[in-house]
Amino acid sequence: MRPSSFEYHKAADIEDAVRLLAEFGDEGRPIAGGQSLVPMMNLRLARPSHLVDINALALNDIEFDGQVMRIGALVRHERYASDPRVAKHFPAFMDAVHWIGHPTIRRNGSIGGSLSHADPTAELPAAAILYDASIVVRSVKGERRIAAVDFFESAYVTSLEPGELVVAVEFPLPPPGSTGSFMEIGERRGDFATASVGTALEFDGETITKAAIVCCGADLVAIRAPGIESFLVGKPLKAPQAEEAGKMFAAEVEPSSDHVASADYKRALIGELTRRAIETACARALESK
């Protein structure tokens, strides 16, 4: 199929973009890489009357200021591979990026687009929830920050108001030496995830002091696992009881069956991915010691 008619506007800068988006309200959508929006338009699942092209905006930087990693909304997925600071501070984020689509999609898709699209199994929304990131959004009214956990409301639904544009994402820097990993299972390489689990762990000596777990495939948004996170605190890196954690989490989640996998199968996958993610993160921490 082909998209329905729309008017095309090329924004010169952020002020221009938010002014246009304010003017069009519900009828306007920003476009960056188009890797999520254009499929929706071609299938007529999205029919914006106005497209505001934001590719000329100065939102292409990855900045570290000692407190946060701030990623401009137009940073393309393949960029992280050439910035060693990302893998150093956010290993689970880096793992997650490798699971995004295909090389052509990673070269063109942007973080602002992925977050705004809010696919329930997308990797970057999961990474944002795992690392307690804040989404920075702009409109003609000014700027506000939305915690990732509040940003994603349901499948393809965010708390963005009409006229608001994602301009950056801020990831608080974990303490030095923190570890993590992200695992995914999909039907095919590059396809949507059936389930994925990510973990970020902080430790003192060889004991876990803080844990975060995120999971896609269990609900309409990526979910955290507070029960499993507190279970992991105090466990040794050498024997984190990852299998037990996976079993506990699998018993707790309530995925729904779909055309790809039954609920039971997804539950089993989530349990196993949880085990693998924790073990991989712990092994990485021990390796770097």
Partner 1 sequence: MTDITLEVNGTEKSLAVEPRRLLADVLRHEFGLSGVHIGCAHGACGCCTVHIDGVPKLSCLTFAVQCEGKAIATVESVGGPNAEHALQQAFKSEHGLQCGYCTPGFVMALIPFVNAMAAQKRMPDDDEIREAMSGNICRCTGYHGIVAAVRKAIGDQLAGEGN
- What does the binding site for partner 1 look like in residue numbers (CB under 8 A)? 1-8, 31, 34-35, 38-39, 42-43, 51, 53, 55, 101-105, 107-108, 189-190
Q: Please, which residue, 37 or 245, has the CB nearer to partner 1?
A: 37
Q: Please, which residue, 2 or 259, has the CB nearer to partner 1?
A: 2
Write down the least CB distance from residue 38 to partner 1, Å: 4
Write down the least CB distance from residue 9 to partner 1, Å: 9
Kind of pairing, strands 207-216 and 152-154? unpaired
Write down the least CB distance from residue 175 to partner 1, Å: 33
d(CA 32, CA 29): 10
- H-state helical runs in 180-257: 226-232, 242-252
Count of residues for the chain? 289
d(CA 36, CA 18): 21
Q: Please, which residue, 24 or 131, has the CB nearer to partner 1?
A: 24
d(CA 31, CA 190): 22
Residues 6+ apart with CB under 8 A from 80: 62, 86, 87, 93, 94, 97
d(CA 108, CA 57): 15
Q: Please, which residue, 43 or 286, has the CB nearer to partner 1?
A: 43
Provide φ and ψ at 213, rounded to 5°. Answer: -130, 135
Write down the least CB distance from residue 159 to partner 1, Å: 26
Coil, helix or strand at residue 171: strand
Q: Please, which residue, 184 or 229, has the CB nearer to partner 1?
A: 184
Write down the least CB distance from residue 106 to partner 1, Å: 9
Coil, helix or strand at residue 63: strand
Q: Taking the C-alpha atoms of 167, 174, 159 and 71 in order, what is their torsion angle to the nearest 10 degrees?
A: 10
Q: Please, which residue, 49 or 256, has the CB nearer to partner 1?
A: 49
Write down the least CB distance from residue 181 to partner 1, Å: 19
Strand pairing partners for 182?
198
